Amino acid sequence: MGICHGKPIEQQSKNTLQVSSEIDEATPTNSQPVKSSGFPFYSPSPLPSLFKSSPAISSSTSVSSTPLRIFKRPFPPPSPAKHIRAFLARRNGSNKRNEVSIPEGKECEIGLDKSFGFSKQFGSHYEIDGEVGRGHFGYTCSAKGKKGSLKGQEVAVKVIPKSKMTTAIAIEDVSREVKILRALTGHPNLVQFYDAFEDDESVYIVMELCKGGELLDKILQRGGKYSEDDAKKVMVQILSVVAYCHLQGVVHRDLKPENFLFTTKDETSPLKAIDFGLSDYVKPDERLNDIVGSAYYVAPEVLHRTYGTEADMWSIGVIAYILLCGSRPFWARTESGIFRAVLKAEPNFEEAPWPSLSPDAVDFVKRLLNKDYRKRLTAAQALCHPWLVGSHELKIPTDMIIYKLVKVYIMSTALRKSALAALAKTLTVPQLAYLREQFTLLGPSKNGYISMQNYKTAILKSATDATKDSRVLDFVHMISCIQYKKLDFEEFCASALSVYQLEALETWEQHARRAYELFEKDGNRPIMIEELASELGLGPSVPVHVVLQDWIRHSDGKLSFLGFVRLLHGVSSRTLQKA
């Protein structure tokens, strides 16, 4: 819900990171005061400064018709900011002054059920001491337990007034936040949830009190950035809790330095993720489409309204960029400009301190800030990245991406499986180390094989109520029911590698060329265009001779290198459009 836990009120207006603009944005020049809409993404429009005064209103000129208006520069491209503000208005029930909202179905406040079924005995269990932070939809207080297991213990209480819950969506957000916290609590890098209460006025979420301050505060105290070694310690903790959330089917959707707190002021204090007010469940084979988050950390696909857990990894990439260099990768004077930068601009890795940082550190950040979400590292993969290997002793968690990839692999043709097998043989030792970790987590037999049932068993070991609510268990059950032979480690690698992630590497060309050489020896064969079209499942409406003519060598009728690479990616509407 955008609330900042444990942040003293007097620090609310502190300076943010000082950075230089990457996009030249026009600033408003209106003499009229700008009214804030009250939305998190609100920014004044830059358009008024783009127009010259019309001669039609000049006191010294009289014309019978309005002359052609001249613009200083063309209109900027449409900004997603307008749509984001409109969405947030509908979600949170906010309206501009003098505007009347039009009730849309269950979004009308009249008749909303604001009863959550929580205990109504908050006052008898806790005594509130004072406010320590305030957000868009509520505030956070410190409190002390009056009885029970928390008697005498200081806690944090997030107070959400029911008067702020003016839509059914807002009510659902609060209910889901409590469910997610209750299900996920217990991870060492996630704020401990104790209980939830309510009365006629508010909802009270009781959690552990973190006194060490925000990660953002710590960055500022260190002069704006961390050393590589210290940044590694922070990233490992962030990735650990995010990998845990993603495995349970929970996407945070508002990861930023302000939403990570240190439990104490000690230098070795653990870091805790907070504020799951914007979090949601996401099934591995589905996408979310509502636009939420914070402008500087929002992923491109969120602005395109189709995203999953990969959006969190982009946000972690932004945090890593800030930790290592002290500036934001995407910046502009307005939210509209920030969104355009996120969609179009590339992060700067040329200026100091990037040239002095290790190549592994630069590669780590680049692989998180890839605008193509399919090429981005997952949290489990990031923990296995060479930059972090050796800096932690965490047990790498099961990665849901291997479930999605194996499903696609099993449904692939024999020709594509042969191509993937060739590509798997080109993987390096570090790349194989991650896959070996995942294979081991699936619990192979003594003979070194896994069945589809192993995929379900592995998830059940770490399942929570969130795994059920997110329908991750349904997805895993579907995979476990697929009739397919047992996999050894070699075929598992072919099934679990991501072609898109490999394509993001600088060494992709070598991988692809070497794999094609292996494919030529073991898997390539003469094939007719019609046979290839049939194997790829292309319908009669597809002009196969046009689409697939470059896939086959004219000399011997075998798959060409271009056809091999496209086969690795699989056939989709996007593939056909590019062909």
Q: Which residues are annotated as a binding site for ATP?
A: 158
Other Cβ atoms within 10 Å of 84 Cβ, number = 26
Cα angle 99-100-101, degrees, rounded to a multiple of 5 = 120
Q: Which residues of 244-270 are buried (b: 16+ CB within 10 A; e: fewer)?
A: bbbbbbbbbbbbbbbbbbbbeeeeebe
Residue with tokens 């496209």: 566
Q: Which of 189, 192, 115 is nearest to 153 (CA)?
A: 192
The one-character DSSP state at 307 is B
Q: Enter the tokens of residue 420.
A: 């993937």
**What is the spatial distance between Cα 412 and Cα 535, in angstroms, rounded to a whole number?**
9
Q: Which of 225, 219, 220, 193 is nearest to 206 (CA)?
A: 193
**H or E stretch including 129?**
strand 126-134
Q: Enter the tokens of residue 337.
A: 């400009």
Catalytic annotation on 360?
Answer: no
Q: Enter the tokens of residue 259.
A: 């939403």
- Strands 193-198 and 154-161: what pairing? unpaired
Query: CB–CB of 28/48 below 8 Å?
Result: yes
**H or E stretch including 569?**
helix 561-569
Query: CB–CB of 272/266 below 8 Å?
Result: no
Query: CB–CB of 137/164 below 8 Å?
Result: yes
**What is the spatial distance between Cα 68 and Cα 366, in angstroms, rounded to a whole number?**
47
Q: At what angle do helices 508-522 and 414-424 cross, to 10 degrees?
A: 120
**What is the spatial distance between Cα 482 and Cα 16, in angstroms, rounded to a whole number?**
52
**For residue 45, how far is the Cα from the chain centroid?**
27
Q: Which of 195, 217, 254, 280 is catalytic?
A: 254
In the chain, the amino acid numbered 292 is V
Q: Does a cis peptide bond (omega within 30 degrees of 0) precede residue 161?
A: no
**What is the spatial distance between Cα 100 and Cα 96, in angstroms, rounded to a whole number?**
8
Annotated binding site: 158
**What is the spatial distance between Cα 174 and Cα 219, in angstroms, rounded to a whole number?**
30
Catalytically active residues are 254
